[in-house]
Amino acid sequence: MNDLIRIKGKRKLKGEVTVSSCKNSAVAILPAVVLASEVVKLYDVPEIEDVKVLIKLLNLLNIDVRVSDDELTIDPTNIANVDLLDEDVMKLRASYYFMGALLGRFRHVKMYSPGGCNLGPRPIDLHLKGFEALGATITQEGNVIEISAEELKGDDIYLDFASVGATINIMLAACFARGRTTIENAAKEPEIIDISSMLNKMGAQIRGAGTSEITINGVTRLKGCIHDIIPDRIEAGTYIIAAAACGEDVTVNNVIPQHIEALTSKLEEMGVRLEQGSDYVRVFESEDLKPIDIITQPFPGFATDLQQPLTALLTKVDGDSHVEETIYLERFKHCAELNKMGADIEVAPGKSTIHGGKQLHGTDIFATDLRCGASLIIAGLMAEGETVIHNAYHIYRGYDSIVEKLRAIGAEIK
């Protein structure tokens, strides 16, 4: 995979783009198959690097995965609970879902601690607190973590922060725990509803996903199922922002509008002209956009994953816009790169001020994480001249065929 993306900017985007299915669902659903005793069939799995890595980890557990187009047939009947001490574990943070799944199924797991985007400290203390509440003991030697339990017994677990990962990981570990587990202050992201509905199809008894209180009544076995992963709301938001930045008339298909309400209402507040259907958002060329203030929040608030792409658009909007991060205080590495292109963004701890009204110009810039990379692509589409984005592998972790999709709506990108 070539690690540079080259963009000749200021092409008007026009046409239709279709969103793939949700990365942050897929990366939880694949490890969750460990809990199944029969074949699981997944439709619309995004062809992204993170999925490829997780398939290799499933293979390490002697789980057969057959890929045909974007359908996966996963056969866990010969699963072996081997230690996951492979460097692939460190390639993505979501590998930590194998902790909850293997603990839940076998009451033992030994693996490397996760890796993933550098968005500042990303502890997993809430995950581990949940596992301990279910009766597990945890030992950590260096970056090897071992979790085991004589027996897993349901308990009431309160999350100090509505963590997406902790909510899902505890849900996985609790599926076979004896009795009832409740997760208070649970995260409410759509991905949590998606994985809970798949587990319930397999015979789990999970109620309340999507609300701040989830209950799991333990069962003894999960069968197989067929599951269609929800569309990726962050990918959808990224293309909608790109269209608002340099689109003439772009329709983004395969969207669940309720999943991106915080974004679309903010864009409308800015003066972006949108038409929303039941499964698409159409963006028309919009002039004289107004600056706005953004505060990131857990769902249904404004998604932290979209503040970086939106920042690129805000560089051209006259006036000062403000972004405040309440989820990842250090998620501002894209600003220095945008400033190399002529933006004028000030960064303070947990917040940025974008002095807009600037015309960006192309130059060499460096992606530092997945959504930073998306922000730089949008900047390249807006900029005069050629932009060369280095470390493009970050982008391929979470955006299926982004170069092809943008080229198909008129971008000059390769």
Nearer to ligand EPZ, 48 or 204 (CB): 48
By CB under 6 A, residue 375 contacts ligand EPZ: no
Q: What is the DSSP string of 299-346?
A: TTSB-HHHHHHHHHHHTTSSSEEEEE-SS-TT--HHHHHHHHTT--EE
By CB under 6 A, residue 134 contacts ligand EPZ: no
C-beta of 334: minimal distance to ligand EPZ in Å? Answer: 12
C-beta of 284: minimal distance to ligand EPZ in Å? Answer: 28
By CB under 6 A, residue 323 contacts ligand EPZ: no
Residues in 107-126 that interact with ligand EPZ by CB under 6 A: 117, 121-126
Cα(104)–Cα(81) distance, integer angstroms:
12
E-only strand ranges, 94-204: 108-112, 137-141, 144-148, 156-158, 180-184
By CB under 6 A, residue 169 contacts ligand EPZ: no
Among 12-20, 51-59, 161-169, 378-386, which window interacts with ligand EPZ (CB under 6 A)? Answer: 161-169
Catalytic residue among 22, 117, 175, 335: 117
By CB under 6 A, residue 165 contacts ligand EPZ: yes
Both tokens of residue 324?
A: 């405040």
Residues in 9-28 that interact with ligand EPZ by CB under 6 A: 23-24, 27
Query: Tokens 């065929």 correspond to what residue?
Result: 401
By CB under 6 A, residue 185 contacts ligand EPZ: no
Q: Reply yes or no on whether 117 is catalytic.
A: yes
Cα(7)–Cα(375) distance, integer angstroms:
13
By CB under 6 A, residue 161 contacts ligand EPZ: yes
By CB under 6 A, residue 142 contacts ligand EPZ: no
C-beta of 46: minimal distance to ligand EPZ in Å? Answer: 12
State how far Cα 187 lies from the chain centre: 14
C-beta of 206: minimal distance to ligand EPZ in Å? Answer: 18
By CB under 6 A, residue 283 contacts ligand EPZ: no
C-beta of 341: minimal distance to ligand EPZ in Å? Answer: 22
Query: Tokens 């470390």 correspond to what residue?
Result: 391
Instruction: Tell whether omega for the bond before 300 is within 30 degrees of 0, i.e. cis.
Output: yes
By CB under 6 A, residue 186 contacts ligand EPZ: no
374 DSSP β-pair partners? none
Shortest CA distance to 317 belongs to which of 360, 264, 366?
360
Provide the residue type at 232 as one letter.
D
Active site (catalytic) residues: 117
